Amino acid sequence: MKLPLCVPVRLALAAGAAEVRLRQLFPRIMWALTPSSPERDEPFAEMQRIESDPEYRALFLAGLDAAIVQNAEAAVDELRNAIRPDTEERAA
């Protein structure tokens, strides 16, 4: 036996009204039971911004290039000092 169409509609309306009433009576419990989106990781959010914002990407890549150059120059200086000591050390 089929139920009339109005019965499922009334059940849906009653469930919605019950949810509203429960939210009013027990806000903390309903907040805890409501699924929430997980917090985004900062590195992932940073990557999304780099991929989606061309201006930010340009700034990020410029900073990255400068950091790579700085680290490469520091490594070259360390290698030079390891291979050929400073002139002060040669005189001694």
Question: Does residue 40 surpass a pLDDT of 90?
Answer: no
* Same-domain status, 26 and 52: no
Question: Does residue 91 surpass a pLDDT of 60?
Answer: no
* Same-domain status, 22 and 54: no
* Residue 69 to residue 64: CA distance in whole angstroms: 9
Predicted model pTM: 0.46
* Same-domain status, 31 and 71: no
Question: Does residue 53 surpass a pLDDT of 60?
Answer: yes
pLDDT in tens, 8-17: 888 888 888 9
Q: Domain of 16?
A: 1-36
Question: Does residue 92 surpass a pLDDT of 60?
Answer: no
* Same-domain status, 32 and 50: no
What's the average model confidence in pLDDT over 25-40?
77
Token duo for residue 18:
């019950």
pLDDT of the residue at 19 = 85
If phi > 0 it is left, if psi is from -120 to 50 it is alpha, else beta; for residue 20 that is alpha
> How many domains does the chain contain in total?
2
* Residue 3 to residue 37: CA distance in whole angstroms: 37
